[in-house]
């Protein structure tokens, strides 16, 4: 069951990780200009989580009369709130990068997140590494660094060199910050001092996204985004109706990303969550080139090759490590013949 739920969360993460950047870029390339509003949409769909939480409560209520509607203790709530605020800042950094860079470029830069995740996982949760996982981290990071070479030709038309490079470095900052957030969530699980269930994970997701949304709401108020939304919708190139559809689906798809990410951490580790996010890079890359006709230069090809190599290296190591553990377990267990012989000895 644990493996099944892990696969389900990987699928949810895949939907959010590939769809989120694409629909966010769709908002910007057709007339959307509000970065704070775009970052708000990354977590603004948090009320969706109330539906599965309500279902979970009704199910507990059917078996236990005095079932608690909220499982989260104050200690976990406070930790989730702090992580949520940090997530709000990360949302803004990421949205700024997507506004200034092609999706294929920003997606490849986000691959550097894996190196930060690995480093912080080692420090915060004592993550153990193998030669294969280290090789994967190095290759995936090197693939993202290659993008820093000769990227001026990838700059969208009409965008200044200053804005392009600011978007580039803020996207790197977003990758570093989220690389810190993932192990921080795993550390919160370890220090929770209460039973961890998937219902509790959803409650944590709700709190994190709520406080991230509050952080972005403050930015929207300062930037007068709320007053500009109706005007922006009327001027949107695809029409007012499609503007609101893009906005609504953006909020829904990004919830898949966050729920899938913390679900993978719950059923496995923050490092695996970072690996999955990076592994999905080629899919996002191809979809961006097909959907928005973005350029695919030699640097992106090299970066994509290194990313795929890192992906294969990591999972080859995991398969060998799992097989080795299984063989060791079988060797440690006495055979039926040995047990029968021991039973026959007086």
Both tokens assigned to 39: 């970052």
- Answer yes or no: are the C-beta atoms of 273 and 13 closer than 8 Å: yes
Query: 178 is in which domain, residue-wise?
Result: 24-320
Q: How far apart are CA 123 and CA 127, in angstroms?
A: 8
Cβ-based burial of 183 (10 A; exposed 0-12, middle 13-18, buried ≥19): buried
Is residue 286 included in any domain, yes or no?
A: yes
Phi–psi pair at 138, nearest 5 degrees? -65, -45
Cβ-based burial of 54 (10 A; exposed 0-12, middle 13-18, buried ≥19): exposed
Q: How far apart are CA 134 and CA 314, in angstroms?
A: 8
Tokens 């496995």 — which residue?
Answer: 268
Helical ranges in the chain per DSSP H: 2-29, 35-43, 50-63, 74-100, 103-110, 113-124, 131-145, 161-190, 198-222, 225-235, 240-267, 270-279, 281-292, 298-332, 336-344
Chain centroid to Cα 204, Å, comes to 15
Is residue 10 included in any domain, yes or no?
A: no
The CB density around residue 256, as the number of other CB atoms within 10 Å, is 22
Is residue 47 included in any domain, yes or no?
A: yes
The DSSP 8-state label assigned to residue 196 in this structure reads -
Give the per-residue pLDDT at 104: 67
- Answer yes or no: are the C-beta atoms of 279 and 18 closer than 8 Å: no
335: left (phi over 0), alpha (psi -120 to 50) or beta: beta
Is residue 33 included in any domain, yes or no?
A: yes
| Domain tally, the chain | 1
Is residue 133 included in any domain, yes or no?
A: yes
Q: Which residues contact 84 (CB under 8 A, 6 or more apart)?
A: 43, 207, 208, 209, 210, 211, 212, 214, 215
Give the per-residue pLDDT at 301: 75
Q: How far apart are CA 297 and CA 290, in angstroms?
A: 14
pTM tops 0.85, yes or no: no
- Answer yes or no: are the C-beta atoms of 206 and 49 closer than 8 Å: yes
The predicted-structure confidence for 200-220, as pLDDT tens digits, reads as follows 999 999 999 999 999 999 999
Give the per-residue pLDDT at 344: 47
CA–CA distance from 58 to each of 68, 198, 200, 252, 335 (Å)?
10, 15, 15, 24, 47
Intervals of the chain under pLDDT 50: 335-337, 339-342, 344-346
Give the per-residue pLDDT at 136: 73
Is residue 135 included in any domain, yes or no?
A: yes
Is residue 6 included in any domain, yes or no?
A: no
Is residue 54 included in any domain, yes or no?
A: yes
- Answer yes or no: are the C-beta atoms of 282 and 304 closer than 8 Å: yes
């Amino acid at each position: 069951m644990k493996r099944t739920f892990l696969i389900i969360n990987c699928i949810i993460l895949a939907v959010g990780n590939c769809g989120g950047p694409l629909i966010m870029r769709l908002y910007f390339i057709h007339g959307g200009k509000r970065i704070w509003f775009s970052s708000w949409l990354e977590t603004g769909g948090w009320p969706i989580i109330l539906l599965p939480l309500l279902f979970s409560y009704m199910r507990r209520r059917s078996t236990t009369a005095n079932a608690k509607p909220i499982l989260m203790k104050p200690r976990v709530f406070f930790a989730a709130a702090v992580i949520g605020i940090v997530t709000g800042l990360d949302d803004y950094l990421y949205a700024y990068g997507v506004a200034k860079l092609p999706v294929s470029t920003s997606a490849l830069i986000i691959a550097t997140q894996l190196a930060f995740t690995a480093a912080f996982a080692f420090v915060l949760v004592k993550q153990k590494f193998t030669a294969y996982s280290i090789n994967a981290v190095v290759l995936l990071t090197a693939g993202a660094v290659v993008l820093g070479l000769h990227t001026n030709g990838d700059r969208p038309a009409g965008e200044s060199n200053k804005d392009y490079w600011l978007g580039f470095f803020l996207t790197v900052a977003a990758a570093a910050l989220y690389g810190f957030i993932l192990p921080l969530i795993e550390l919160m699980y370890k220090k929770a001092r209460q039973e961890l269930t998937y219902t509790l994970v959803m409650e944590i997701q709700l709190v994190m996204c709520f406080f991230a949304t509050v952080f972005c709401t403050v930015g929207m108020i300062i930037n007068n985004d709320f007053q500009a939304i109706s005007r922006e919708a009327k001027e949107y190139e695809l029409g007012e109706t499609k503007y609101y559809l893009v906005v609504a689906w953006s909020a829904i798809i990004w919830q898949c990303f966050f729920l899938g990410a913390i679900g993978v951490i719950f059923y496995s580790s923050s490092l695996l969550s970072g690996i999955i996010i990076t592994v999905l890079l080629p899919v996002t890359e191809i979809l961006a080139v097909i959907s928005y006709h973005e350029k695919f230069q030699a640097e992106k090809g090299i970066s994509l090759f290194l990313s795929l190599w890192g992906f294969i290296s990591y999972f080859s190591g995991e398969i060998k490590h799992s097989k080795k553990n299984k063989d060791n377990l079988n060797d440690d267990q006495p055979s039926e013949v040995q047990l029968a012989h021991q039973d026959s000895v007086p």
